[in-house]
Amino acid sequence: MYLTEKFADFIVNTNYVDLPEDIIHLAKERILDTIGAMLAGEKSWESKAAFLAACSKLGAGDIDIVGSAKQKFPLARAAMINATFAHAIELDDGHKNAGCHAGAVIVPTALTVGAKLGCSGKEILTAVVIGYEVVYRIVEQMTPYQIQKGFHPSSICDTFGAMAVAGKLMGLTAVEIANGLGFAGLLSSGLMEATVSGQQNKCVQVGNAALNGISAAYYAQANLEGTKTVLEGKTGFFHAQAENVDIEKVCADLGKKYRIGDTYSKMYPTCRHSQAAIEAVLDLVEENKFTYSDVDSIWVGTHKVAYDLTGIIKEPKKTAEAKFSMAYGIALALHEHNVGICHLAPAYWEDPVNRKLANLVTVVIDPTVQSYYPKKRGAKVQIKLKDGRILEKELYDLKGSPKNPVDWNGLLRKFEASVTGVLGAPVIVNLIEAINTLEQIKDINTVMQVLTNM
């Protein structure tokens, strides 16, 4: 059997009753966390108005999008817009070491398609688990080569996950899903160059994975034959974007060992690669009780991908650059003792104190930290104080990572911080309760109506 066919059998034959209780709980966490990121992105993304204006020219439809904009779009485009919002301010989750953000596409696809079809909470939970499984099993075999070759894992691998989610909710057969996964591989796209220029709109290519995945499902439903060898074929996905992929590992223990537990939750709205250094500085401030005025210099040793993506910009001139500036994040940690959504505003990255502190930061590629990549993504930090003391910390397992998880209550605090000012307090309470008891909901529209009528 081809890999697309193995995945198809898993997708068709996996149902809610097959899922362990802890996996169901993890799916609820991912849904809660992604909805928070989606609503925060819809509110704060600086390109939203222009983006929606462009999308409106690509076709009218009957599906509401999340947020306050009273516009309707075709199903696949609506899911794409919702997924774009979810990735817009770098608050969405990711794989522990593969550089892929699955939730931003999987959850909006499940919610948007599920609402159209009137799916139950159990069906949504099942589809979310399946979506993460397909994405993670593909992307974990491609790291670190996919990024090194210039491809953006989220934009590309999430297309397979979106197709799996849509195909499951649409009730496609195993043959149809295998064809759909074949189309997903052909339609997927996305480049790491989006992190170099146009960073503020990188989220559009991530959102596009939802559109392409749903499109692939529709092609398959119409009995179009897909490229079933798209993953392992001689000129297929793995050969084009990775090296030395062990084909047998891709589907090993499929349906027995679930990958959704390999997810980290982001606690700061920045590129994940900068967060080890930021959190290390926050820890050092808390542990040693010094102030920003005591700092003489900061040295950070990290891995090459972190340096390339976040180690160069010191004085961001726009919000997108603020999310990809390790030095700026460290400045906030020293000065504000926090890095939150509010800190993406010009008032903070134009602040003279934050600029001065950012220019005290030196970022280098450290051989030891590099040797651990991609299995570990961390940083070494040294802060030299004006009194001569040198404070040091080496950090790999950030808050929210699988080895240092944030519990449900921690995710609730993050969610509330993300949606305060977007939703009223009673609505937040009711939405949290709905997600926490999602298996009892008969029609996911009861949740989506809250998200689309703000």
Write out pLDDT tens, residues 6-16.
999 999 999 99
Residue 348: HSE in the Cβ half-sphere, 13 Å Cα cutoff: 22
* Tens-digit pLDDT profile for residues 36-93: 999 999 999 999 999 999 999 999 999 999 998 889 999 999 999 999 999 999 999 9
Q: What is the pLDDT of residue 68?
A: 84
pTM, entire model: 0.94
Per-residue pLDDT band for 419 (boundaries 50, 70, 90) equals very high
Residue 151: left (phi > 0), alpha (psi -120 to 50), or beta?
Answer: beta
Residue 198, pLDDT above cutoff 90: no
Q: What is the pLDDT of residue 453?
A: 86
Domain presence at residue 174: yes
Q: Based on the fold, state whether residues 86 and 49 are members of the same structural domain.
A: yes
Mean pLDDT across the chain, nearest whole number?
A: 96
Residue 421, pLDDT above cutoff 90: no
Domain presence at residue 400: no
- Give the range of the structural domain holding residue 306, as residue numbers without chain letter: 272-395
Q: Based on the fold, state whether residues 187 and 323 are members of the same structural domain.
A: no
Q: Based on the fold, state whether residues 247 and 340 are members of the same structural domain.
A: no
Q: What is the pLDDT of residue 326?
A: 97
> Domain count of the chain?
2
Of the given ranges (145-154, 220-229, 257-266, 419-428), which has the lowest mean pLDDT? 419-428
Domain presence at residue 50: yes
- In 3-state terms, what secondary structure has residue 295? strand
Q: Based on the fold, state whether residues 260 and 277 are members of the same structural domain.
A: no
Domain presence at residue 403: no
Q: Based on the fold, state whether residues 19 and 121 are members of the same structural domain.
A: yes
- In 3-state terms, what secondary structure has residue 207? helix
> Residue 315: beta bridge partners?
none
Q: Based on the fold, state whether residues 58 and 197 are members of the same structural domain.
A: yes
Q: Cα(447)–Cα(115) distance, rounded to whole angstroms?
A: 9
Domain presence at residue 402: no
CATH number at residue 16: 1.10.4100.10
Q: Cα(34)–Cα(40) distance, rounded to whole angstroms?
A: 10
Q: What is the pLDDT of residue 196?
A: 87
Q: What is the pLDDT of residue 416?
A: 94
Which residues are within 8 A (CB) of 46 and not within 5 positions of it... i.e. 6 or more apart?
Answer: 200, 318, 319, 320
Q: Based on the fold, state whether residues 199 and 345 are members of the same structural domain.
A: no
* Tens-digit pLDDT profile for residues 273-303: 999 999 999 999 999 999 999 999 999 999 9
In the chain, the amino acid numbered 292 is Y
Q: What is the pLDDT of residue 320?
A: 86
Q: Based on the fold, state whether residues 61 and 199 are members of the same structural domain.
A: yes
Domain presence at residue 87: yes
Q: Please give the C-alpha separations between residue 239 and each of 99, 184, 202, 232, 246, in angstroms, as whole numbers.
A: 19, 16, 25, 7, 11
Q: Based on the fold, state whether residues 413 and 288 are members of the same structural domain.
A: no
Q: What is the pLDDT of residue 435?
A: 97
Q: What is the pLDDT of residue 103?
A: 98
Q: Based on the fold, state whether residues 28 and 75 are members of the same structural domain.
A: yes
- The residue from 395, 425, 443 where one domain ends is 395
Q: Based on the fold, state whether residues 250 and 320 are members of the same structural domain.
A: no
Q: Cα(314)–Cα(325) distance, rounded to whole angstroms?
A: 6
- In 3-state terms, what secondary structure has residue 287? helix
The whole-number average pLDDT for the span 392-402 is 95
Domain presence at residue 437: yes
- The residue from 349, 370, 395 where one domain ends is 395
Tokens standing for 85?
Answer: 């919002």
Residue 197, pLDDT above cutoff 90: no
Cβ(207)–Cβ(103) below 8 Å: no
Q: Based on the fold, state whether residues 205 and 126 are members of the same structural domain.
A: yes
Per-residue pLDDT band for 409 (boundaries 50, 70, 90) equals very high
CATH number at residue 363: 3.30.1330.120
Cβ(217)–Cβ(165) below 8 Å: no
Q: Cα(40)–Cα(66) distance, rounded to whole angstroms?
A: 11
Domain presence at residue 82: yes
Residue 199, pLDDT above cutoff 90: no
Per-residue pLDDT band for 454 (boundaries 50, 70, 90) equals confident
Choose among 324, 322, 323, 326: nearest CA to 334: 326
- The residue from 395, 416, 437 where one domain ends is 395
In the chain, the amino acid numbered 86 is A
